[in-house]
Structure 1
Amino acid sequence: MPYVSRRTAVTATTWLAAVVVLGPTAGSAASAAEEDCFDRRTEPYTSVVDGHLHFRPFGGEAVPFREVVGYLKRTGVRHAGVFGIGQKLPVDSPCTYYLDCPGTPVLPSIKNDVVNAENVVEHKQEDVDLALSMTYPDLAHPETVMGGMRQLDKEFPGMFQWMGEVNLIKQALLPNKHEPADEADITGWAPFMAELRRRDMPITIHSDLGNDQDPTRYLHLMERVLGLYPHNKIVWAHMGLSKELSTMDPDEHIAIMTRLLERYPNLTLDLSWRVLEDMYFGKPGVRAKYAALFDAYPEQAIPGTDFGASRDKSFGVYKEELEVTSRINKAMGDEAFRRIALGQNYFDLLGIKERAPEICEA
């Protein structure tokens, strides 16, 4: 499919019709080549894929599915991962966000995945490509994971293309009785990780790197995952960063990411959540360092907003989060920009045949 500017109302069909009418002249070939590239000087820097988007909240009312899809269309996002939330607040809880209710259990559930799948079936999309993800797995109890996969396969055969976001260790959820996985649990992942490899399916794992008191406290857990399952497509949510880790030396963080990206070529960094921009990328003198990391490993990162579609949010919130999480794109070189912001890495992870446009020559 040829690239079409997000700043114009020209459709791909109109563009193709124009080429047919003009015929295969030298002029039309040149025009086609020019139209098929992305001009960073005039086009938006915001990502055209959202690889980390929660269509369901932890609790309370959700933004209607079609409305969320409308947010994507209005911002020029053409591909998105349909994440649920793999845990739910009790139905009698007045909360929509777990941080507002410490002590209230937020426990694993498959319900959001079922609701997302039903919505995808009911509201078929043509303008936006959606990839359903399984978010139910309880990584601390791996023996339960295959049963959930069989249930979703039976009810929605062939529809799920991703697994995650699943929690290895998420410190923010600890007050809500979240049970982190340990090294023995990770060893027990072998059956479902083998099934993911068979399906060539990526998995997005939330695994906090550490906290301000001990920045690398939990690093050994992700290293264990990568060491045991180097052939799985593993996506590390938020590059291991979180609100609990706001003061880590960026050089130390980049050094850890560099070491792991070099050693594990199937590792992909998830650049979602505005925490990355607000606490790291946006600091004076830091943005260029992270851009250099992505330029050095342009095939190992994908973008995302980490937007959670609770009804107290609106299009304005989504638009802002897309813009904030996309600011790092401006500092990337052309190859990293094409592969990350324009979606080539996301396409490759999913085996999508679509090809991101080349960057126009200056």
Structure 2
Amino acid sequence: MGRRLGAAAAVLTAVAVVASQAGAGSAVAGTGCFDRAREPYTSQVDSHLHFRPFGGQAIPFEELTGYLHKSGVRHASMYGIGQTLPTNSNCMYYLDCPGTPVVPSMKNDFANAENYVETHPKDPELTVSMTFMDLNHPETIPPGITVYDKEYPGVFRWAGEVNLVKQALFPNHHTPATSENIKNWAPFMKVLRDRGIPITIHSDLGSDADQTKYLHLMEETLRLYPENKLVWAHMGLSKELTAMDPDRHIGIMTRLLDENPNLTLDLSWRVLEDNYFSRPGARQKYAAFLDRYPTRAIPGTDFVASRDKDYGVYEQELEVTSRINTALDDRAFRDIALGENYYRLLGLKESAPKLCRAE
């Protein structure tokens, strides 16, 4: 079972995590409200979940949705992985195969869509995402959307995770999109905007050697497409950028949120917890930042459903990526951990449960 904090742990420290129930994930029975003192702090939404791996076999669909139900996740964005390894490769993960090209493909999206239309799961509810988009070749994207519309009308309600710049993929022939590429996104971004479809963009801020080397690419995207629902994956952080001062990072995020009302931050991937939130004093800083912008972030695990993983791995990823929730105030906890921002971003009628008042 997962781990959670007791009621007294409003501010998390490295030794404050204690064992508890995980996966209840719903309002207290009979009260219609969520009691933070009694229920898990793990997020009820997983907005960043890859149902398909880069290569090799995937966890079967029914098994993976069972993980979500068991852990108390009520909604999830059903990502494929647009950038896939060749079918003749024995690799399951691109980092194990430097030199092997990892290129955008539709096959994972089609597999996800087929599983979705066959089952229409309601617990958890799923949002199917288009992940095939090659941002370096934007002219291929509108025709691709047309294919999706024909084959699976109305099924795809999210876009991404797509790569603007992902340094981890450089050894696999990935190159950053250019400013000229970004200008040429206009046709497909209009489709997404007209349909109210959010797009999750992976765009590294930089590396430890040059911490804001690629910031201008996201700034250009925000400048050109201010009306699109843009979700910035991992707040721009990565394994290549682990040494940025939290105050500097928070300052950049604050400026961009203030300048761009339609920008949402994605809090997925344990890199955030392992390299930033868990630093001495940093959790309180990030929590205070999110408390100031409670409507501007969504949670996720960034779990990749390759067959070499099981429920224990997913449960751990959910717990680790949810630890920041323990330090949030009630407004931010409801909006982020309980899913209110996610529902609003998708235009869903569902609302997160209210929090119980302390007696």
CA contact (8 A) 2:299 2:336 kept: yes
Change (3 A) 1:218 1:238: same
Secondary structure at the counterpart of residue 306 of structure 2 = coil
What's the CA shift string for 1:200-236, capped at 9, x where partnerless?
1100000000000000000000000000111100000
Q: 1:52 aligns with which of 40, 48, 54?
A: 48
> 343-352 or 122-131, which moves further after superposition?
122-131
Question: For 2:53 and 2:85, how far apart are their aligned partners in 1?
Answer: 9
SS in structure 2 at match of 1:231 = coil
Structure-to-structure mapping, 1:209-288, within 5 angstroms: 209-288=205-284
Task: Give the corresponding residue for 1:192.
Answer: 188
Quote the offset at 1:180 in angstroms.
1.8
Structure 1 partner of 2:113: 117
Corresponding position of 2:305:
309
Unaligned runs of 5+ in 2: 1-20
Is 1:182 matched with 2:178? yes
CA deviation vs aligned residue, 1:132-159 (integer Å, no higher than 9, x gap): 0000000000000001100010000001
- Residue matched to 1:98: 94
Do 1:66 and 1:123's aligned partners in 2 also have CA atoms closer than 8 Å? no
Task: Find the counterpart in structure 1 of residue 331 from structure 2.
Answer: 335
Q: Conserved in 1, the CA contact under 8 Å of 2:24 and 2:40?
A: no
Letter in 2 for 1:79: H
**TM-score between the two structures when normalised by the length of structure 1:** 0.91
Paired residue type of 2:315: K
Which structure has the greater CA radius of gyration? 1
- In structure 2, how many angstroms separate the alpha carbons of the residues matched to 1:86 and 1:39? 39
The equivalent of 2:158 in structure 1 is 162
Distance 1:11 1:252, change over 3 A: closer
Please give the alpha-carbon distance, in whole angstroms, between the structure 1 residues aligned to 2:25 and 2:275: 37
Q: Would you identify which runs of 4 or more consecutive aligned residues in structure 1 move more than 6 Å?
A: 5-12
Question: Deviation string for 1:222-256 (max 9, x for gaps)?
Answer: 00000011110000000000000010111100000
Say which of 283, 291, 305 aligns to 1:295: 291
Aligned residue for 1:122, secondary structure, equals helix
How many pairs does the alignment contain?
338
Identity of aligned residues (%): 65
- Alpha-carbon separation, structure 1, partners of 2:324 and 2:227: 28
Task: Give a deviation string over 1:252-282, Cα, whole Å, max 9, x none.
Answer: 0000000001111110000000000000001
What's the CA shift for 1:179?
Answer: 2.6
In proportion to residue count, which structure has more helix? 1
Cα pair distance change 1:11/1:42, threshold 3 Å: closer
Alignment of structure 1 residues 32-71 onto 2, 5 Å: 35-71=31-67
Contact 2:84–2:102 at 8 Å: present in 1 too? yes
Output the aligned Cα RMSD: 1.6
Corresponding residue for residue 344 of structure 1: 340
Quickly say closer, same or farther: Cα 1:317–1:9, change in 2 above 3 A: closer
- The DSSP-based 3-state class of the residue aligned with 1:268 is strand
Amino acid at match of 2:70: R
Change (3 A) 1:92 1:308: same
